[in-house]
Amino acid sequence: MALLSSDGWLFLLRWIHFLSGITWIGLLYYFNVVQTPFFAETEPAVRSGAVQKLVPRALWWFRWGAMITFLSGLIYLLHRMGQLGGVREFFATSYGWAIFLGGTLGVFMWANVWFVIWPKQKIVIANAVDTAAGRPANPAAAPAGARAGVASRTNVVFSIPMLFYMGAASHLPDLADKMTRGGKITMAVVSAVIILLIEANALFATAGQGAAKPLATVKGTLWAGFILAAIFYLLFEIVF
C-alpha cells in the first residue's frame, strides 16, 4: 500500500502537521478576532459564563493543536535534514532557510501557548469560577489576562510571516539562491534580534501601552504581522 511506504509515512506526517496547525491557528484567530471583541462588548455575567464553560474547551483544542503541530513539524524538519544530507546541506538551500525561519516563529508561538497564554488563562478561569461561587476575586486575574492577551496578539503577528515562509519553502525556490557565509550569519543574527525583541514585548510590555499599543486592536495586530513578513522578505532580498 502507498501509505505504508516511506513517502506515505512522510505524507501522513505532513497531513497531521497541517490538520493540527489549522486547528491551532484557527482557534488563535477565533480568540483574537472574534472572542476578544465580543468579551469587550458583552455583559459581565455573559462573559463570566463563557470564561467558565467555553474558554476551557477552546483552550484544550488550542494548546494540544499547538503541541501536535510542534512535534510533527520537528519530526518532519529532522527528516528533511536527513534527506538533504545533514544540517550543513539543509542550510545551503533556499528551502532550508525559509522553512527554518517559519519553524522558528512557530516554536516561539508554541512556547507562548504553553508557557504564557495557558498558565495565565488558568488564573483567569479559576477567578471566574470563584467569583461566580461568591468567593473573593483574585487580584492577579486581570494582569494575567492582560499578559495572555499580549502574548496571544503576538502569536497572531508571528503567524503571518510563519505561514508565508512555510509556503515559500516550496513555492519560492529562489528566495535565498545566492547565499554566502557572511549572508547566512547576517540573516541569522538580524532575524534572531527581531524575533527576540518582539517576544520580549510579549513577555514584559504593558498591554495597550508603549510597544504593545499596536496590538491593542485587531487591525493593528494584523498590520504588524504583514509588516514583519515584509521585513523578513526584504532581508532575504538584501542579504542573499
* pLDDT band at 167; cut points 50, 70, 90: very high
Cα–Cα dist 128/142, whole Å? 11
* pLDDT higher than threshold 70 for residue 1: no
Cα–Cα dist 64/61, whole Å? 5
Write down the pLDDT at residue 126.
98
Q: Tell me which of 237 and 214 has the higher pLDDT.
A: 214
Write down the pLDDT at residue 71.
97
Write down the pLDDT at residue 122.
98
Average pLDDT over the chain, rounded to whole?
A: 93
Write down the pLDDT at residue 173.
80
Alpha helices (runs of H) in 94-215, residue ranges in sequence order: 94-112, 118-132, 141-171, 181-204
* pLDDT band at 174; cut points 50, 70, 90: confident
Write down the pLDDT at residue 80.
86
Q: Output the nine-digit C-alpha cell for 80.
A: 528533511
Nearest alpha carbon to residue 197 among 183, 184, 210: 210
* pLDDT higher than threshold 90 for residue 171: no
CA atoms within 13 A on the CB side of 154: 34
Nearest alpha carbon to residue 215 among 158, 141, 143: 158
Q: Contact at 8 Å (CB) between 215 and 154?
A: yes
Distance from the first to the final alpha carbon of the chain: 42
Residue with cell 465580543: 38
Phi then psi dihedrals of residue 231, to 5 deg: -60, -45
Write down the pLDDT at residue 177.
67
Write down the pLDDT at residue 92.
85
Nearest alpha carbon to residue 159 among 68, 225, 63, 104: 225
Cα–Cα dist 47/142, whole Å? 14
Distances (CA, A) of 138 to 43, 59, 130, 133, 238: 20, 21, 8, 13, 50
Nearest alpha carbon to residue 93 among 191, 172, 10: 172
* pLDDT band at 138; cut points 50, 70, 90: very high
pTM value is 0.95
Cα–Cα dist 123/134, whole Å? 16
* pLDDT band at 175; cut points 50, 70, 90: confident
Residue pLDDT, tens place only, 39-94 = 999 999 999 999 999 999 999 999 999 999 999 999 999 988 888 888 888 888 88
The full set of domain ranges for the chain reads 2-239
